[in-house]
């Protein structure tokens, strides 16, 4: 083990240069986030991943964000084990009817302020699984979505772009954030921010 540790000291790190926030997700964010209640979370953003019936392809790439090439935590983004600790719900899958209630409960268990990021083509509208008796047809059919990251599955880089866009937009609007700090959103999933 010592040898591996020593090698770690002299070898070049594998970690990639950070990507710039993508133009498309940023635009989508602006329209969704510029309105309504938005508060300062601080720099650190906690993410709770919810698989709402994906094929597990998206999970593989979300997992990859934690490997040493992408090293998500250096941006202050980290995955947490409970929705109670989360600012962002990262939701994958077409939202199966069997997962609908679990997703709603997870959403309601996440304290405000919170954002929902829907990941993958099938999270947009059910994708390939749309029309099935077992599928609701996308994340926004169940909880309000702030950002879609498309792809089947999106690559770790595309995921990073989307999440960074979330961070950037959050920082650029500090004044508004401060003003609205105490405005609370009505509880429950019925409350749409649009």
Partner 1 sequence: MISALAELLANGRRVEAQHPWPRVIVTPEAWRSAAEGLADGRLTLLGLWSDSAAVHMALLNEEPFEVGVVSVEAVDGDYPSVSAVHAPAIRLERTIHDLYGLRPVGLGDKRPWLDHGRWGVKHPLGAQEAAPPLVASYPFLPAHGESLHQVAVGPVHAGIIEPGHFRFTANGEAVVRLEHRLGYTHKGIESLMIGADLDRASRLAGRTSGDSTVAYALAFAHAVEAALGIRIPPRAAWLRALMAELERLANHLGDFGAVCNDASFSMIHAKCGALREQVLRAAAASFGHRLMMDSVVPGGVSADIIPTGAMEVTKLLVEIARQLPKLVDLYDNTASLQDRTTTTGILKPALARQYGAGGYVGRASGRSFDARKAFAYAPYDELEFDVPVLDDGDVNARVWIRVREIEQSAALIEQILNRLPAGAVRFVPEARRSDIAEGLAFVEGFRGDILAWVRIDRAGRIALCHLRDPSWFQWPLLEAAIEGNIIADFPICNKSFNCSYSGHDR
Asked whether the beta carbons of 184 and 112 are under 8 A apart, the reply is yes
45 three-state secondary structure: strand
In the list 66, 173, 185, 193, the residue contacting partner 1 (rule: CB under 8 A) is 66
Report the candidate in 155, 35, 141, 45 with the shortest Cα–Cα distance to residue 93: 141
Q: What CA–CA distance (Å, rounded) separates 119 from 98?
A: 19
In the list 26, 33, 116, 129, the residue contacting partner 1 (rule: CB under 8 A) is 129
> Which tokens in the block code for residue 155?
């690559």
By CB under 8 A, tell whether 58 contacts partner 1.
yes
Q: Spell out the residues 6+ positions from residue 153 whose beta carbon is closer than 8 angstroms to its own.
A: 57, 58, 60, 61, 119, 120
By CB under 8 A, tell whether 63 contacts partner 1.
yes
Rounded to the nearest whole angstrom, what is the least distance from the CB of residue 51 to partner 1 in the complex?
A: 5
By CB under 8 A, tell whether 85 contacts partner 1.
no
In the list 28, 49, 87, 146, the residue contacting partner 1 (rule: CB under 8 A) is 49
By CB under 8 A, tell whether 135 contacts partner 1.
yes
Q: Of the listed pieces 27-35, 37-45, 96-104, 164-172, which binds partner 1 according to CB under 8 A?
A: 96-104
By CB under 8 A, tell whether 141 contacts partner 1.
no
DSSP summary character for residue 169: H
Report the candidate in 100, 110, 101 with the shortest Cα–Cα distance to residue 49: 110
In the list 26, 33, 52, 149, the residue contacting partner 1 (rule: CB under 8 A) is 52
By CB under 8 A, tell whether 108 contacts partner 1.
no
By CB under 8 A, tell whether 10 contacts partner 1.
no
């Amino acid at each position: 083990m010592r040898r591996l540790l020593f090698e770690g000291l002299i070898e070049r790190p594998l970690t990639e240069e950070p990507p710039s926030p993508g133009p498309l997700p940023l635009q989508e964010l602006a329209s969704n986030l510029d309105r309504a209640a938005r508060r300062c979370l601080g720099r650190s953003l906690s993410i709770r991943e919810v698989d709402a019936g994906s094929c597990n392809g998206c999970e593989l790439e979300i997992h990859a964000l934690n490997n040493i090439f992408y090293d998500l935590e250096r941006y202050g983004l980290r995955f947490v084990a409970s929705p109670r600790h989360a600012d962002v719900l990262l939701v994958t899958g077409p939202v199966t009817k069997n997962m609908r209630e679990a997703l709603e409960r997870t959403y309601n268990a996440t304290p405000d302020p919170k954002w929902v990021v829907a990941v993958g083509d099938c999270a947009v509208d059910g994708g390939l699984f749309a029309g099935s008796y077992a599928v609701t047809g996308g994340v926004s059919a169940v909880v309000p979505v702030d950002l879609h990251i498309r792809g089947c599955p999106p690559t770790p880089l595309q995921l990073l772009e989307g999440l960074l866009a979330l961070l950037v937009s959050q920082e650029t609007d500090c004044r508004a954030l401060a003003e609205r700090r105490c405005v609370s959103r009505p509880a429950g999933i019925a409350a749409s921010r649009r």
